[in-house]
Structures are given as C-alpha cells and as structure tokens.
Amino acid sequence: MVFSCRSRKADVPGYGVRTLAKFASMGSALTFPLEAMIFLGIVVLAASKVRHVSVTMEFVRSLHGSVRVYGDDIIVPVDIAEGAVELLEVFGLRVNRSKSFWTGKFRESCGVTTSTGRM
C-alpha cells in the first residue's frame, strides 16, 4: 500500500520524465505521516527505557498529551528528552541539537529561537 502512494516518476522541465531514486521527497503527503509514526515509535521506546517500564497500551496512553510529533518536530517531556535524542541517533537519524531545548525557557518556532516562550 505504501508503494502505491508514492510517485515513481517526475516530469522535470527541460529534462523530461525522470525515474525518482528516492522513496519519497521530504514534505510529501507520504513522507510526513510515515516519519511521524516512526519518530513516535522511537520516542515511545525511549520513554519506556528511561522510565523502566514495558511498552503496553496503558503506557502508550499515559503519554497522550505529553508527547507530540508533527513530522520532524518532536515534543516530549523533559525527563525523556535526552533518551529520545540518543535513541533517534541510534536509529541513524540526525538531531539538530542546536535547535533542541530541554532546559531553560527557550522555544523554537520555524527556525527562530525566542526566550519568551511565545511562538
């Protein structure tokens, strides 16, 4: 089903129809939900490791409201932030630590850091 949702070719002006090498481009209707599900799974696993509990439906439900994933923007409770970053990196993902905050009153919105907490 996932393969049926992707574009395998693109008509590139001046170059004609080209076969795409990538599975899906960033920001596509396919990539955004898939990356969110994958990131959420990794965050849930990190939270279970940090809190020394098994991953159960009850545990996953307990994270409702405190864990948010919007594509590549991930919001987690402070106590699991470092563990989440480490596990994301174990899975080969790159975390931009200069735009990641889990201490102080800093917030990031669309690449701009503010100290007011307002976005």
Which tens digit of pLDDT belongs to each residue from 18-66? 998 877 766 677 788 888 999 999 999 999 999 999 999 999 999 999 9
pLDDT grade, residue 118 (50/70/90)? very low
Taking a C-beta distance cutoff of 8 angstroms, is the pair 57, 11 a contact? no
pTM for the whole thing? 0.71
Summary mean pLDDT of the chain: 83
**Percent of the chain scored above 70 by pLDDT?**
83
Q: Is the pLDDT of residue 98 over 80?
A: no
Q: Helix, strand, coil proportions of the chain in percent (round to 5)?
A: 40, 20, 45
What are the φ and ψ backbone dihedral angles of 40, each rounded to 5 degrees?
A: -60, -45
